[in-house]
A and B are shown apart, each in its own frame.
Chain A
């Protein structure tokens, strides 16, 4: 018994070391690239940080809540379009709303982020309130259906680019930073990721985290102690959607482009794939997965446009051989949860 307890502890310690190494690596590689004048590497790292953020959002629903959402691209896309719509109105000097009050667009990132977070949260509240009435395969299908709805809506909305998407000329601004400088924009995204990971680490240990985690394992258990599992899951879904929407805003800003593809089911799948690859319910699972995903995409994508085959193979191996994903494999904590 005490041996088992010690194993849990040493595994947890090792996971912390791995997390720190991962974070340090993601922080230092762009710094090296900056000295070596390799801006594209910095862009790749920024992409990884943003995808890690999106995955961290999904991980709250998927990992902590056990909610297999196949529609998280909805929130990613909403964040992207929140950025695109606000920024395009601002750059065209065309107010967003004329009546009853005039609301201007903005190219000020903090405001864009707040709008993205709120829009993502509201969408998640509505989608969650409807889809969390179901579970299992039905939940997966309903979230997928919502994703497709948003995708086709974005395609058929000519005011904001329709199929062509929505491009902006300059990256939005953040006080004190030149966001067009790759290393500065990376630092900003990395900082956002760190803040969210810190929040997530607290969340896991919080009363809400404990209750949500228990609800995933036994609905009856949380009911029997007087908690409403639906409310817990809905709150998790909202939180999850809000974080993924923030990632979407950053992603669109990175590319200076919001496209309907941000809503696509393929993207929902990709986010889920790299979260599972890295380790579901692991604090830095999404980060590990996103880094591997971006590296594969870059190196193998250059060799063949069918690089997803290799991603699929890797996923297959990890799922079959390491139930806790890459993080679980490295930390020696096999089980996917805990």
Chain B
């Protein structure tokens, strides 16, 4: 059983290719995510990291290639169907309901996750915030990211760092099989970055994380494996030490500061 877990990737992209006009954003990209790990994707701007995330999460269809979640081919599924199957995504630029309160955003996540189990997204007569199960799940997630005290605050009034925390809290309410995170450290200060790093370090035990990140300190501290994406191709995959030592990577990406 344990062997199977280690053998079968939770999330896997096979030979993903996507072309925009003459530009190959992704070419034959294969990447997998195993139980319990953080797999970081690094690469210079324009390397195709965002395109890769979009194709994995279903907001952009690949020209060719397939995506598997827990062994199921999810390539034909739309973004919301993939989310429902257990793929939780956090966005580079916070995508939150800014006019709603922090609690409402978290309840939305709980509603998405628990829909069918007693509540329906199409429910028009019951109260969303009055639903005990939804509220509890939302508050639990807010507590975990440290936003419990801000539950009643309008999301637009949160600081940048707090919005990242809320993004994470909403993803937590989904109780996903895998996380896909697009630069969760972006814009966080040094202390915020450190706290997020510690949080993700523990989170990997709940579900593995595909982490796209620019903050190299965080990547080297967290990643079990690193894949380096340059000009739409993965030029290397390996442990932190292997990537640090890889001559091609140093030349192409890490440059003089590694």
Contact = CB atoms under 8 A, between A and B. Distances in A.
Contacts of A214: 97, 100, 104-105, 108
A337 B156 CA distance: 12
B70 interface: no
A231 to B, nearest CB: 8
Contact of B108 (A206, A222, A337): A222
Given A220-B91, A337-B99, A338-B99, A208 B121 contact: yes
B120 interface: yes
Given A338-B99, A338-B100, A227 B124 contact: no
Interface in B77-136: 78-81, 83-84, 88-89, 91, 95-100, 104-105, 107-109, 111-113, 115, 119-131, 134
Contacts of B134: 207
A223 B77 CA distance: 12
Nearest to B104: A210
B96 A211 contact: no
Given A207-B128, A226-B115, A337-B99, A220 B59 contact: yes
A13 interface: no
A207 B126 contact: yes
B134 to A, nearest CB: 8
Given A4-B153, A206-B126, A207-B126, A226 B99 contact: no
Interface in B116-163: 119-131, 134, 150, 152-154, 157
A211 B125 contact: no
B123 A206 contact: yes
Contacts, number: 130
A209 interface: yes
Given A217-B99, A218-B97, A223-B83, A207 B111 contact: yes
A320 interface: no
A335 B120 CA distance: 29
A226 B171 CA distance: 11
Interface string B171-201: 1011000000000000000000000000000
B153 A207 contact: no
Most B CB contacts (10 A, CB to CB) among A208, A210, A222, A337 go to A210
B100 A225 contact: no
Given A4-B153, A217-B100, A220-B59, A211 B88 contact: no
Nearest to B109: A225
Given A202-B125, A207-B120, A217 B152 contact: no
B170 interface: yes
Given A207-B126, A223-B80, A218 B95 contact: yes
Interface residues of A, number: 32
Nearest to B158: A1
Contacts of A335: 99
A235 interface: yes
A206 B157 contact: no
A223 B113 CA distance: 12
A294 B152 CA distance: 39
A203 interface: yes
A338 to B, nearest CB: 5
B131 A207 contact: yes
Contacts of B57: 224
A36 interface: no
A205 interface: yes
A223 B150 CA distance: 24
Nearest to B110: A225
B122 A235 contact: yes
Given A4-B154, A210-B107, A225-B109, 12 more contacts: A1-B150, A1-B153, A208-B122, A210-B104, A210-B129, A214-B108, A218-B95, A221-B96, A223-B78, A224-B57, A225-B112, A226-B80
13 contacts: A5-B152, A205-B128, A208-B122, A211-B111, A211-B121, A218-B97, A220-B91, A224-B79, A224-B171, A225-B113, A225-B173, A338-B100, A338-B154
Interface of B: 57, 59, 78-81, 83-84, 88-89, 91, 95-100, 104-105, 107-109, 111-113, 115, 119-131, 134, 150, 152-154, 157, 170-171, 173-174
